[in-house]
Each structure stands twice: as C-alpha cells, then as structure tokens.
Amino acid sequence: MKRAVFLDRDGVINRVVIKNGRPHPPASLESFELLPGVPEAIRSLRGAGFKVIVVTNQPDVATGVQRLDVVREIHAHMRDCLLLDDIKMCCHVDRDQCLCRKPKPGMLLEAAKEWDLDLQRSYMVGDRWRDIEAGRAARCKTILVGGGYAEPSVKNPDALVASLWEAAQLILTSRL
C-alpha cells in the first residue's frame, strides 16, 4: 500500500482572503495565488514516493457565492502547475450531512480506495479544524499550517507549522 499526503487547498496551497477573521477562497483564477514554497514542497513529497492529493471543501458553490466552472478552472490551473495526483472536492454545506464534507473523512477514504493508500502511514495537512478532524477520523497523522482564524480552535494536531514547505520537511525527515 502507498502513502499519501492530503492537502487542503485554501490556506495551504494558495493564499486566502481574510474577512471578519475567517478565510475565504479566491474568487477567480486571476486572484488565485500560490503560497511560497508550494511547488517545491509538492515536488519533494512526490520525489519521496508520496501520492499528493488535494481534499477541499468548496461550499460557496452550493450557496451560489462561487460558480462551479470557476472552481474547475482553478483546479485545472493547479493540475497544470503542480505535481498533484488527484483533487477531491466537496461542494456541500453542513446541513447536507454528506460524508465527504470535512470534518468527515469521506474524501480521504474515497482516495484511499482509489489509490490503494495506507491511511495510517499518510498525512493530512490543513489550516483549519475541519482538516485536522478529517485527518484524525481517517487515522492519518495531522499537520496544522498557520491557524489563528476566528473560528473553533484546533485540538491537538500532531504538528503545527508555518507553511506547506515546513510540513513537507517534517514528513520527509520522519520527525512526525
């Protein structure tokens, strides 16, 4: 079985817009901005044999704030410029009670089946409590990037780092 690094999108791969202390995704491809060190971090993880899979909640599609074609355009751009194995997306909101919306582990479990992944030897890297809870529910090691949003705090990630680059270094040196 293979190992994977699951990455949240907004706040881990790309810059977010902070409004009232909460992170928001880019509104368009033109406003999409990769964070420093992201391509290098992903390249390093892939070079070490990890599958790199984005798992992202995009509820703005369900609420009508964002168009699905814009999200797909951003994902196509990400596939073009990053060495990603897959992108899993949930467009539901909490009231839909779906199994894929983080903090539920549905996207990670689906990827594990499709890619023959050993979740206990895999990692979830995210910037919000939902990411860490999804990783924990899937039995992955969890790494919180940044944090500090005006929302529920993250309880006990396995590690706290400042960037995806730093998370990749922890993973690659087996310090987690």
Q: Catalytic positions, please?
A: 8, 10
Q: What angle do CA 23, 30, 32 make, to 5 degrees?
A: 35
| CA 129/CA 126 separation, integer angstroms | 8
Q: Cα Rg for the chain, rounded, in angstroms?
A: 15
Pick from 16, 32, 31: nearest CA to 81: 32
> β-strand 86-90 against 17-19: which pairing, if any?
unpaired
Q: What angle do helix axes 106-115 and 129-137 make, rounded to 10 degrees?
A: 50
Helix (H) or strand (E) holding 167: helix 164-172
Residues 6+ away with beta carbon under 8 Å from 149: 18, 21, 22, 23, 127, 128
